[in-house]
């Protein structure tokens, strides 16, 4: 797997931080201002590291829930580290 860019990860984690408890954020590269490849790489990387309370990946479309504790820690680490 390719390593995602720090900025792509921060963008996805920041967007997911605003998601309500039971909601899912459908990741759209155009809305997030990312390339499709960058978004997919970062989303897969973050999902594998359990950064979201829940997620869905179907037909090449990603949707993520709010941040898990791991996701909050990773966002803090990327933004401040």
- State both tokens at 42: 């970062």
Among 56, 48, 12, smallest CA distance to 33 is for 12
Question: Which residue ranges form the domains of the chain, and what is each CATH number?
Answer: 6-80 (1.10.10)
Which value, in Å, is the radius of gyration of the alpha carbons in the chain? 11
- Output the pTM of the full model: 0.93
Give pLDDT tens digits for 18-60. 998 889 999 999 999 999 999 999 999 999 999 999 999 888 7
Q: Which residues contact 34 (CB under 8 A, 6 or more apart)?
A: 8, 11, 12, 42
């Amino acid at each position: 797997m390719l390593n995602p860019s720090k900025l792509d990860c921060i963008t996805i984690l920041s967007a997911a931080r605003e998601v309500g408890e039971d909601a899912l954020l459908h990741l759209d590269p155009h809305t997030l201002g990312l390339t499709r490849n960058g978004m997919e790489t970062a989303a897969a990387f973050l999902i594998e590291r359990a950064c979201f309370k829940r997620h869905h990946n179907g037909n090449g479309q990603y949707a993520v829930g709010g941040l898990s504790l791991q996701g909050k820690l990773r966002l803090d680490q990327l933004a401040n580290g």
